[in-house]
Amino acid sequence: MSKSVTLFLRLCQGRLLAARNPEKVWRVGERVTNLLQKLSRMPAGCTVQHRTVNGVPVEIIENHSAHANTSQTLLFLHGGGFAFGSAANYRAFVARLCKKSGIARA
């Protein structure tokens, strides 16, 4: 599946680079974001909470596995330049990182 996702992202990136209109860039980015969210699934035992910290919206991913180290927190800052992607695109990926590494939250 990773090869098909890579191809998909390259195609989308080409469309974004070809778009001269910022509104069109935003629309394409929003479509890609929605599609990626549908393709990504949270692993079992992980949940997400939406909070605001000092006026900034954040997502907190909780790994409820019995072996999760509650003294560790992963800080993940996604890229995208406010035109492509969102925290939601990386939600399942970050949850899998927490599960594989035994970290309790991100």
Please report, in tens digits, the pLDDT of each residue of the chain (106 residues total). Answer: 567 667 766 776 677 667 677 777 777 777 777 777 777 788 999 999 999 989 988 899 999 999 999 999 999 887 766 555 667 778 888 999 999 999 999 9
Q: For residues 58-91, b (16+ Cβ closer than 10 Å) or e, as one string?
A: ebebbbebeebeeeeeeeeeeeeeeebbbbebbb
pLDDT at 30: 77
Rounded Cα distance, 11 and 44, in Å:
31
Q: Residue 42: what are its φ and ψ, rounded to 5°?
A: -70, 140
pTM of model > 0.85:
no
Distances (CA, A) of 83 to 32, 47, 94: 11, 26, 20
Strand partners, 61: 48
Do the beta carbons of residue 98 and residue 61 sit within 8 Å?
yes
pLDDT at 69: 94
pLDDT at 62: 96
pLDDT at 68: 93
pLDDT at 65: 92
